[in-house]
Amino acid sequence: MKRKVLSMVLATSMLAAALVGCGGGEAAPAATSEPAAEAPAAEEEAPAAEAPAAEEEAPAADAAAPTGNKVGVSMPTKDLQRWNQDGSNMQAELEAAGYEVDLQYASNDEATQASQIENMINGGCSVLVIAAIEANSLSTVLEGAKSAGIPVIAYDRLIMNTDAINYYATFDNYKVGVTQGQYIVDALDLDNADGPFNMEITAGDPGDNNAPFFYNGAMDTLQPYIDAGKIVIPSGQVDFATVGTPKWSTETAQSRMENILSSNYADGTKLDICLCSNDSTSLGVQNALAANYTGDYPIVTGQDCDIANVKNMIAGKQSMSVFKDTRTLASQVVKMVGQILSGEEVEVNDTTTYDNGTGVIPSFLCDPVFADANNYKELLIDSGYYTDADLQ
């Protein structure tokens, strides 16, 4: 019953937040909270949630001051650096704010993620923060969260086709793609140069709602130059369905690029641009180039500023990345958790962009930042995100 009251409070605060709305589609202001104190460290996973205790009521409390203070954080995988940072930043900040944290990683396995979330629901979490492996795979388990009155924040990736999602916190995903596309426009001076320049495209996981945003941001920026014949795509592989990389796999991106190189570039054709949506796929493309391409090195894009990729930017194997400071996102989400649990208005800055199939989800978009070999020191080292030693 108490949960019902909490739900009503939530509904009211969501409405208030939606009414306030601020700058739909605009770049988000920088989050105001302090970054997590620690630079990314080796992951310590929180213990698995206890077995469901059927008769134990989850600790939602009265509307004014809910007392539940356990937060479930569900992350997709430890395989990619960024999720380790997201998880440890969230855990550190939530614990510093006095919450108990149940942090779980699901080894990129959808069934594992669903069962971890079920344990969080049954284990008394008052709020769930979820970075989904697959956008459509959590509807059933989240029905349980909704009926228990447990609010859900979709973290970084929107969870689709379920009305159990209360809020979404992410970076401006379309802007990530625009940043990559604009880099290519500037680097090749496409407004003045005739070209044609040869480009190949490697996009993200079709099961990740972010992936088409990245792709569309970049392609919308480059399309005028494609239409003008200044950029051509010798493989003919252009549409999102064809260029996607399931699970953002480095190996899959690498083998696809190896095939493209042997079919289209083995005769000495010059490759000028590798548009890669993120760093894990970019690494695969870079591996393929290293083994199979001897021409002038192309422009290679990325996203995340993973350590391996920053090293490659310094070594000239990757031209740019997009820095998404996971400390900023974690801080914002911790703030949202606090606002939810205290019945305050939840801060959002976008109430138009992200419809998950059941309606627009009030969102907070953090600002992604261009990174390359010239500014990485200021962005990544001076800010304490990495140490010099991390990049040796």
Q: Residue 329: which H helix or E strand, with range?
A: helix 326-341
Check: CB of residue 270 under 8 Å from CB of residue 196. no
Q: How far apart are CA 233 and CA 239, in angstroms?
A: 11
**Residue 248 interacts with ligand BGC (CB under 6 A): yes or no:** yes
Name the residue nearer to ligand BGC (CB basis): 77 or 126: 77
Query: Among the residues of 21-109, which ranges form H helices?
Result: 81-96
Give the shortest CB-205-to-ligand BGC separation in angstroms.
Answer: 7
Name the residue nearer to ligand BGC (CB basis): 166 or 281: 281
Check: CB of residue 273 under 8 Å from CB of residue 297. no
Q: How far apart are CA 60 and CA 8, in angstroms?
A: 13
Residue 298 is encoded by which pair of tokens?
Answer: 């192309």
Give the shortest CB-173-to-ligand BGC separation in angstroms.
Answer: 7
**Residue 80 interacts with ligand BGC (CB under 6 A): yes or no:** yes
Give the shortest CB-257-to-ligand BGC separation in angstroms.
Answer: 17
DSSP state of 379: I
Give the shortest CB-48-to-ligand BGC separation in angstroms.
Answer: 23
Check: CB of residue 319 under 8 Å from CB of residue 299. yes
Give the shortest CB-303-to-ligand BGC separation in angstroms.
Answer: 6
Name the residue nearer to ligand BGC (CB basis): 60 or 365: 365
Residue whose CB is nearest to ligand BGC in the complex, by number: 278
**Residue 82 interacts with ligand BGC (CB under 6 A): yes or no:** yes
User: Of residues 43-72, which lie at the interface with ligand BGC (CB under 6 A)?
Assistant: none
Name the residue nearer to ligand BGC (CB basis): 248 or 265: 248
| Pairing of the two strands 70-75 and 320-323 | unpaired
Place of tokens 């290679």: 300
**Residue 338 falls in which region: left (phi positive, over 0), alpha (psi -120 to 50) or beta:** alpha
Check: CB of residue 219 under 8 Å from CB of residue 202. no
Bond from prior residue into 52 cis (ω within 30 degrees of 0): no
Place of tokens 């589609």: 25
Name the residue nearer to ligand BGC (CB basis): 191 or 355: 355
**Residue 278 interacts with ligand BGC (CB under 6 A): yes or no:** yes
Q: Find all residues with CB under 8 Å of 259, minimum gap 6, and list them.
A: none
Q: Compute the residue count for the chain.
A: 392
**Residue 156 interacts with ligand BGC (CB under 6 A): yes or no:** yes
**Residue 327 interacts with ligand BGC (CB under 6 A): yes or no:** no
Nearest to 252 by CA among 280, 279, 221: 280
Name the residue nearer to ligand BGC (CB basis): 174 or 248: 248
**Residue 335 interacts with ligand BGC (CB under 6 A): yes or no:** no
**Residue 208 interacts with ligand BGC (CB under 6 A): yes or no:** yes
User: Of residues 300-319, which lie at the interface with ligand BGC (CB under 6 A)?
Assistant: 303-304
Name the residue nearer to ligand BGC (CB basis): 73 or 261: 73
Look at the alpha carbons of 348, 34, 173, 207 in this order and tell me if their dihedral is positive or negative.
Answer: negative
**Residue 256 interacts with ligand BGC (CB under 6 A): yes or no:** no
Site string for ligand BGC, 4-43 (x = CB under 6 A): ----------------------------------------
Check: CB of residue 366 under 8 Å from CB of residue 86. no
**Residue 210 interacts with ligand BGC (CB under 6 A): yes or no:** yes
Give the shortest CB-182-to-ligand BGC separation in angstroms.
Answer: 18
Give the shortest CB-181-to-ligand BGC separation in angstroms.
Answer: 17
Query: Among the residues of 67-209, which ranges form H helices?
Result: 81-96, 110-122, 139-147, 173-187
Name the residue nearer to ligand BGC (CB basis): 166 or 277: 277
Name the residue nearer to ligand BGC (CB basis): 9 or 320: 320
Number of residues that bind ligand BGC (CB under 6 A): 12
**Residue 354 interacts with ligand BGC (CB under 6 A): yes or no:** no
Name the residue nearer to ligand BGC (CB basis): 84 or 91: 84
Q: Find all residues with CB under 8 Å of 340, minimum gap 6, and list them.
A: 10, 13, 127, 151, 153, 166, 167, 346
Residues in touch with ligand BGC (CB under 6 A): 80, 82, 156-157, 208, 210, 248, 278, 280, 303-304, 324
